[in-house]
Amino acid sequence: MKRLINNIILLIVALLLLSTIGVYGLLYALVFTVFHYTKISFLKFWGDLLYSINVGIDFIGNVLLGTFLNNYAIKDKTLYPFGNVNHTISHVLAYNYLKLNNTSRFGKVIINILEMIDKGHALKSLKRYGTTI
For residues 26-33, give the mean pLDDT. 96
Q: What is the pLDDT of residue 29?
A: 96
Cβ neighbour number for residue 117 with a 10 Å cutoff:
8
Q: Higher-confidence residue: 117 or 128?
A: 117
> Is it the case that residue 43 has pLDDT exceeding 90?
yes
Mean pLDDT across 32-43: 95
Share of the chain above pLDDT 70, in %: 100
What is the pTM for the complete model shown? Answer: 0.85
Amino acid at 42: F
Each residue of 59-114: pLDDT tens digit?
999 999 999 999 999 999 999 999 999 999 999 999 999 999 999 999 999 999 99
132 pLDDT higher than 80: no
- Rounded-to-5 percentages of helix, strand, coil across the chain: 75, 0, 25
| HSE-CB of 9 using CA atoms within 13 angstroms | 6
